[in-house]
Structure 1
Amino acid sequence: MKGVLLVNLGSPDSPDPKDVKPYLDEFLMDKYVIDVPYLLRALLVRGILINAKKRHINSGKAYSRIWTDEGSPLIVLSKKMHAKVQQHTALPVSLAMRYGKPSIMSGLQELHDKGVTEVLLFPLYPQHAMASTVTINVLAEELRKKHFPHMKMTKVPAFYNRPEYIQCLADSIKRALEGFDYDHLLFSYHGIPERHIRKTDVTKSHCKINETCCSVPSPAHEFCYRHQCFETTRQVVELLGIPKEKYSESFQSRIAGDKWLEPYTDVEINKMPEKGIKKLAVVTPAFVSDCLETLEEIAMEANHQFKEHGGEQFMAIPCLNDNDDWAETVAGWINHWAHAEVVANA
């Protein structure tokens, strides 16, 4: 019997620092997020980021700004998406988070208890990255081997360029922009350290992280987050007919002290008003569900900074969340797999 496990990032149980602290510890101690030796990682995370810099307290304040009566927006939206997907497929579908609850272990157990012997592991990330896709795949495989050795697992690859996804993303942007005469559309992707790009380069030589490497065909692109971000943008703006001068790309959510992908979202947004960009729209295609990075960092903080620097109107375009067309698209991919068709990049 086949079943599906949808996996998103996760969230603390509440915005209280006592709940945020263990969540951040689990997240930042992941060797695929901060990829340095364990002792150095523990010193950095537990000695500096969480304790010395009180990151859990500051993060708790940020979470409290977006928390709803229903709970964490990411969890609430993921559950709504999960319910809609389940309506469009006969296969049992479970939901899990890489960090926090519900866990990947509980999701696999739920499927196992329903008699599932073959699982489609579906990381809800359009672009491939160590700190998202890889860490989900690795943990799920470890749990499968240890607790469900007879269970077969198929992993959904990055879907950044699948036509159905691009259409859903383009349609959501088009709907959001109706009636908004924007000067510029910024595609803000989650940032990652440059070394992650080089580590995932299967050729060990292609990724120079310069102006041309992402546009020159290479086997490295199958796992290159930077290329996949740029390709998502390229296909969306082509579909929507947006001219080059009206859009750009940037990367957000960096941690100080390391070289991350550039340009940085906050720096770019703060410079825009002086360039004559007074009406700005921002879309965040690295996420399929609105979360701390989209709701607090972009819709609140970036909005405030843009206007502080002379901007007039700011629009944060919602993620795909539980849009009907997106839920139907995911269910369609699941149903193709259920009929033994290969889930692969179009």
Structure 2
Amino acid sequence: MKKGVLMVNLGSPDSTDPEDVKKYLGEFLMDERVIDFPLWARTLLVKGIILNTRPKKSAEAYSKIWWEKGSPLIVLSEMLQEKVSEKVDVPIVLAMRYGSPSMIQGLQKLNDMGVDEVLIFPLYPQFAMATTETILVLAEEIRAAHFPHMRFSDIPAFYNKPEYIEVLSRSIEEKIKDLDFEKLVFSYHGVPERHIRKSDVTKSHCKIDGTCCKTASAAHQFCYRHQCYETTRQVAEKLNLKEGTYFTSFQSRLGFDPWLQPYTDRTIERFGKEGIKKMAIVTPAFVSDCLETLEEIAMEGEEIFHEMGGKEFTTIPCLNDRDDWAHVVATWINDWAIVESSKAIA
């Protein structure tokens, strides 16, 4: 069997035109694992309300961060793909869960290369319904409908893998080593609390009460909240951060249902009100800088901090196409290829 890799990131509109943004948001928000309402309710909310009000505002936000070459997330993902491809002996195709290039296009490209054994590589450190799970579910749907001869395996959530923690810690240390910062915030993408409970394989462990994430459980394999806090804990330990100088928060909530807390914007606001003058912020739920990191955090977050009296607001870039990160990704892919080859020989 010929091996290949489908590297999958979130996605982006094709341009900053409101119509392109509307198309992208429609695909994204109609995903039942993003907004997990019944179809009729999701359709009413998304097509009846959100797509009639939000595209113009989102298009303006994308315009603030758009690069000459296109969407930062797409460009950075392509740069990572190119670096990793130089370090592995199997073809790597990049795809997006939403927008272009699509996953079916990516799998077709691998199929045209003669690949029939595919490693699905979601570019998300932590597992969540709305990220890793939706990628794996769609991949299987596409395989069953179009490429039944293909065999899939996937890279599990790597939130606690030593190599990932090492590179993430190094990327943070490089930015803060010369800063006299008072607070370091680990800001993760937010999800509704109900997603945590739905992902609980034990159906009883996840209570989101401040203790369940610290109590060993099989639920942690698919618990986004636990994995976020564990990423923070391991990085803080690696960097010898003092208790009280670092915090975990969650950004990008939507609607009125309870989402994971504390919220990032309110945390930034609170620090400013408390007299904190210097803070830094990192976004470890993403490996590529995107709208949520470049506009929501680096622009809106800094504005909130300054309005509340803060002075120095440092945003730490995502791993993007760092050489050491590309090396880690390539190593995981090469290890997979070796294991699969051994299975075939056996």
Q: TM-score range by the shorter chain?
A: over 0.9
1:119 maps to: 118
Q: Which residue of 2 aligns with 1:3?
A: 4
Question: What is the rounded CA distance, in whole Å, between the counterparts of 1:242 and 1:30 in structure 2?
Answer: 38
Matches within 5 A, 1:197-236: 197-236=196-235
Where 1:154 maps in the other structure, the secondary structure is: strand
- 1:42-90 Cα offsets, whole Å, 9 max, x none, are 0000111111xx1000000000000011110000000000000101001
Kindly provide the CA deviation profile for residues 303-327 of structure 1, in whole angstroms up to 9, marking residues without a partner as x: 0110000000001100000000000
Alignment identity in percent? 62
Aligned to 1:248: 247
Which residues of structure 1 form unaligned runs of 5+?
A: none
Do residues 22 (structure 1) and 31 (structure 2) align? no
Whole-angstrom CA distance in 1 between matches of 2:167 and 2:42? 38
The code of the aligned residue for 1:174 comes to E
Residue type matched to 1:192 in 2?
A: V
**What letter matches 1:170 in structure 2?**
S
Question: What does the per-residue CA deviation read over 1:196-221, in whole Å, with 9 as the maximum and x for residues that have no partner?
Answer: 00000000000000110000000000
Are the aligned partners of 2:127 and 2:222 in contact in 1 as well (CA < 8 Å)?
Answer: yes
Correspondence 1:238 to 2:237: yes
Which residue does 1:69 correspond to in 2?
Answer: 68
- What is the deviation of 1:9? 0.2
Cα offset for 1:341?
6.2
C-alpha offsets along residues 112-162 of structure 1, whole Å, 9 cap, x if unaligned?
111111000000000000000010000011001111101000011100000
Aligned residues of 2:30 and 2:46 also touching (Cα < 8 A): yes
Q: Distance in 2 between matches of 1:36 and 1:248?
A: 31
TM-score, normalised to structure 2, is 0.97
Alignment size in residue pairs: 340
Match of 1:268 in 2: 267
Question: What residue in structure 2 maps to residue 308 of structure 1?
Answer: 307
Task: State the alpha-carbon separation in 2 of the partners of residues 264 and 101 from structure 1.
Answer: 31
Tell me the CA shift for residue 245 of structure 1. 1.1
Q: Does 1:143 align with 2:142?
A: yes
Aligned mates of 1:258, 1:59 — CA distance in 2: 21
Instruction: Measure the CA separation in 2 of the matches of 1:138 and 1:110.
Output: 19
The 1-side partners of 2:273 and 2:49 are apart by 37
Q: 1:184 — aligned with what?
A: 183
Aligned-pair distance for 1:256? Answer: 2.5
Q: TM-score, normalised by structure 1?
A: 0.97
Matches within 5 A, 1:259-298: 259-298=258-297
What is the root-mean-square deviation in Å for CA atoms of aligned residues? 0.9
Deviations 1:190-245 (A, max 9, x none): 00000000000000000000110000000000000000000000000000000111
Which residue number in structure 1 is paired with residue 344 of structure 2?
A: none
Determine if the alignment matches structure 1 residue 322 to structure 2 residue 285: no
Quick check: 2:191–2:259 contact (8 Å CA) kept in 1? Answer: yes
2:14 is matched by which residue type in structure 1?
Answer: D
Alpha-carbon distance in structure 2 between the residues aligned to 1:341 and 1:262: 41
Provide the residue aligned with 1:155 in structure 2. 154
Quick one: distance in 2 between partners of 1:70 and 1:280? 31
